[in-house]
Structure 1
Amino acid sequence: MLLRLFHVCVASLFWYTIWYDLSYVNIPFPNKAYEEYPLRGRTTFLTFWCLVLQTVYFTVSVLNDYVGTNVDHPKHTSILRSIKDKLFILAFPVALYVTSAFWGIYAVDKDLIFPDKIANAIPSWVNHTMHTFILLFIVLELVITYRRYPSRAVGYSIVILFNLTYTFWFHCIYYQTGVWVYPIFNVLNWPARVGFVIASTTFALGFYLVGEKMNKLVWTKVDKRKVKSK
């Protein structure tokens, strides 16, 4: 019952945040052309991609609570449960990356990631939902629900594909508008930008590994009990 309530509350918060952001928040984009991109230009930001990913994950979790199964080792894994577990292995490192990158750069130079003109347009609760609560909820989810991680090759491939897709997307935006999505790219030369992307992907893979290790640490006893019962 508490697990269902948790999933419903988190999914509702994320859906409400998306709706509120699209309905009431007017972001001062560096170029008017940004507004022509889908969802009022929000698709230009990795933060929004992450929020959508978390929203989809917790929505699937709600559905799985009612018509799927949360049993640790089900005899027959439902489609919803399978989708849920696959989504988690991407949702965790992306949330950890977004939170770490945002607050890390914020601590060094706020204007490089969250200049006043943007900060003044976004309510504090929306900002924290997008950059703080996403990590809090997905870590809590790791602790209270069981899932099996795939092989590391599969997990790494999923993370790399996601990173490369977004990297390609925001470079396309730059070539179309002449303006970088993130101000930090304005102070970097091309070698530094390439290095930043490589470093970002490396960090994302490292965060995937963190999720895998944490999952193993939390759920090893459950797996051992299952092996002994066979």
Structure 2
Amino acid sequence: MDEDKKKKFLGLGVYTPVWLFYYYVSKQYDYVYRNNSSNYEAFVNLKRFGSFYFTGWNFTAQVYFLVIAIIHELSHLLGIPQNVSKYFGLIRHYLFTAIVFPCTMMVSFMFWGLYLIDRELVFPRSLDKFYPSWMTHSVHSFIILPIIAEINLPKEHGFEIIDFYHAVPVLTAFIISYEVSLITIYLVYGVWLYPIFKYLTWLQRLSFLIIVYSITVLLLYLGIFIQHLKKSKRVKFANTT
């Protein structure tokens, strides 16, 4: 087997088990919701509005990213026409750069940051009886691993990193869509998905959302910077061999 195919099998070897693990995690959440009828407010909100939490949006984005990445890796091994392979590659790179990297970093850092300050602001202690710690870590900690993998896995020849000014509109649309959904749920159902919003004024809430968006944009920039850094090292290594 030539070196290029070995590299592609490496990508499949990393992403396929991660996707299977994510599938298992999603089934475990379904199991928890089907087998618990607690009236505890935080659990009821998670059960009723689970798909509207930003953690869920990010998890879904990662699942789509993994599917596209696996298809893209397979396209090289199966000899799929180059234009089709490039199409999947473009979607993969856009999804990773514009959404997966910045949003995953935001979910992980924001969740654990608030958790350390006062976990009642983001994940009340009473929820521990419904969700074992490994499930909490699966959607707030483990999610960092696919990011590390994507940045370090070998890339195809001619790989181009998505430009910041092309990626930021995609990220902005994603974040604004979520924030509108968050506020709409409160206006319609009177429910703040994250307890921290209960303790803020409207000015503070809007300021908080703007700060979160700004930090996510900075994380987008950081992700692109790291990709360029890794690419320059690959080019330098290739030129010295």
Flag structure 1 segments of 5+ consecutive residues without an equivalent.
70-74
How far off its partner does 1:220 sit?
1.3
Partner in structure 2 of residue 84 of structure 1: 92
2:145 to 128, 136, 144: 136
State the alpha-carbon separation in 1 of the partners of residues 215 and 103 from structure 2: 10
Over the aligned positions, Cα root-mean-square deviation in angstroms equals 2.4
Matched, 1:205 2:217: yes
Q: Structure 2 CA distance, aligned partners of 1:158 and 1:85?
A: 12
Report the residue type matching 2:190 in the other structure: G
Shift of 1:145: 4.1
Partner of 2:204: 192
Q: For residue 184 of structure 2, what is the aligned residue in structure 1?
A: 172
**Residue in 2 aligned with 1:8?**
16
Q: Distance in 2 between matches of 1:52 and 1:155?
A: 19
- Residue 199 of structure 1 aligns with an amino acid whose one-letter code is I
Q: Distance in 2 between the 1:213 and 1:34 partners?
A: 35
- What is the deviation of 1:176? 1.2
TM (normalized to structure 1)? Answer: 0.86
Change in Cα spacing, 1:48 to 1:29, as seen in structure 2 (3 Å) is farther
Partner of 1:102: 111
Q: Which amino acid aligns with 1:46?
A: F
Alignment of 1:52-67 (within 5 A): 52-67=60-75
Once the two structures are TM-superposed, the CA of residue 4 in structure 1 deviates from its matched residue by 1.1
1:143-198 Cα distance to aligned partner (Å, 9 max, x none): 11435332222111111111100000011100111120000001111111111001
Q: Give the alignment's TM-score, normalised by structure 2.
A: 0.82
C-alpha deviation, 1:16, in angstroms: 1.4
Task: Name the structure 2 match of 1:72.
Answer: none
The answer to whether the 8 A contact 2:54-2:178 is kept is: yes
Measure the CA separation in 2 of the matches of 1:218 and 1:178: 46
Corresponding pairs, count: 219
Partner AA of 1:23 in structure 2: Y
AA aligned to 2:183 is H
Structure 1 position 50 matched with structure 2 position 58: yes
Shift of 1:221: 3.5
Determine if contact 2:43/2:127 at 8 Å carries over to the other structure.
no
Task: Please tell me whether the aligned partners of residues 102 and 131 of structure 1 are also in contact (alpha carbons under 8 angstroms).
Answer: yes
Aligned to 1:160: 172
Say if 1:92 and 1:208, in contact at 8 Å, map to a contact too: yes
Instruction: Please say if residues 68 and 80 of structure 1, whose CA atoms lie closer than 8 Å, have aligned partners that are also in contact.
Output: no
Gaps of 5+ in 2: 1-8
Question: Do 2:72 and 2:88's aligned partners in 1 also have CA atoms closer than 8 Å?
Answer: yes
Native 8 Å contact 2:45 2:193 kept in 1: no
